[in-house]
Amino acid sequence: MHYYTISFTHKNTSIEDREKLAFNSEEELIKAYEFLKSLKNFNEAIIISTCNRVEVMLSLKNLNGIEESIFNYLSDYSGIASTKLQNFAKIYKDEDAVKHIFRVVSSLDSLVVGETQIVGQVKEAFKFSYDNGYSGQKMARVMHHAFRCAAAVRNETDISKNPISVASVAVNKAKEVLGGDLGGYSAVIVGAGDMGTLAAKHLAKNGVNIIFVNRDIEKAYRVADAIEGVNVTVEPFSELKTVINSYRLLFSATSAPDLIITKEMVKKTTFHRHWFDLAVPRDIEDCSCDNIEIYAVDDLQEIMNRNLEHREANAKIAQKIIERFSDDFFNWLQTLSIGPLIKEIRDLAKESCERELQKAISKGYVDKSDKESLMKLLHQAFNSFLHEPTMRLKNVSEMPQSDTIVQSIQYFFGLNEQQRKALDVYKCDYQIEKDLKAKDKR
């Protein structure tokens, strides 16, 4: 079994190409998963699609011929030539793939190192894959370990102290261009999803009044009700053209596949405007209009760079944590092998038989000349006794609960004491929750 990841991020892929690669609907995701599932060597998959990255994470039986098939599919989907995709994609295999996943979830690979939003995004991606039957035991193992690694990074470093997201970087940029104080300003937020909500919270902390515009006006009202400390209003989406021409600040963060704000909607104003496009694909058309500065996701890199020196020191500590968790993960993975476990149990039974037979001979209960015959009899007895448990253990090896079963057996027989972990430590929290709910329904 192999872990394998194809990665397109802000580090190696332009925003224009990331827009084309992004999966913007469940329907598109399902089609991609179904394609991956059709591959000969497929085990499981998780697709992560955010404003800064598109990652295809896989568990495979072997790696033969996998790259060409995936790149051809992504080329057909995005309209980008397969050769171009291969030129800027980053590919990780086996141990490197696991370390990369740990880095992603720990936010060492993010546009803003240390931001915590990526953990939730990865959990949602895994949840979608798991719920739809595209991942299970194999990806659950690495995902759960990745989430624990991310928690250790947060707890053992300052990398997430005063966490910074793309939304907070945009607000910091607004503060910079408007002289450092946003108190008393008003800002339009287009979109009431996670990014729009996060932008609203950061703006509210800076004393900015907020005008929400969202297609689902009821959702906008719900989000608006949760924002405290400033004046928050909601405008219907039909008023978008009027609203965008009425205020200096605008933050757009929808999940729409097409442009929301086009140059035809823009009117001249007597005041300068600053628009922050936090969406991928972009919401705002590049209109080169007078008195409007448009900042896309990639433009926000500047603010992150100002904190780079402090974050690099913490990133070095975090990388050591990732190395530790990676080594621990692969050591633990080896202990879950069914074959060696069965052999260890049989060896224990054989040693026990030999030890007790030797005691019986030394005490005169058994004649030494009968040792060979009695050993054969005992061997047949423990083979017969272990036959059914052995068959059950082989059959359960691919089931999600096999990790817990193996660890239980290791515990009861006292095997692998140094590498054995507490029961369920590496079973995915989400998977445990699903198993418990299924059990309750029964």
Residues identified as active-site: 51
Please count the CA atoms within 13 angstroms of the CA of 422 that sit on its side-chain side: 1
198 CB-contact burial (10 Å; exposed 0-12 / middle 13-18 / buried 19+): buried
Structure tokens at 80: 């980008």
Cα 185 to Cα 203: distance, rounded to the nearest angstrom: 10
Structure tokens at 124: 């949602």
Cα 155 to Cα 168: distance, rounded to the nearest angstrom: 21
Q: φ and ψ at 89, to 5 degrees?
A: -75, 150
Question: What is the residue whose two structure tokens read 């006006």?
Answer: 217
Helix, strand, coil abundance in the chain, percent, nearest 5: 55, 15, 30
User: Contact 283/256 with Cβ under 8 angstroms?
Assistant: yes
Beta strand 53-60 with 186-190 is unpaired
User: Contact 317/343 with Cβ under 8 angstroms?
Assistant: no
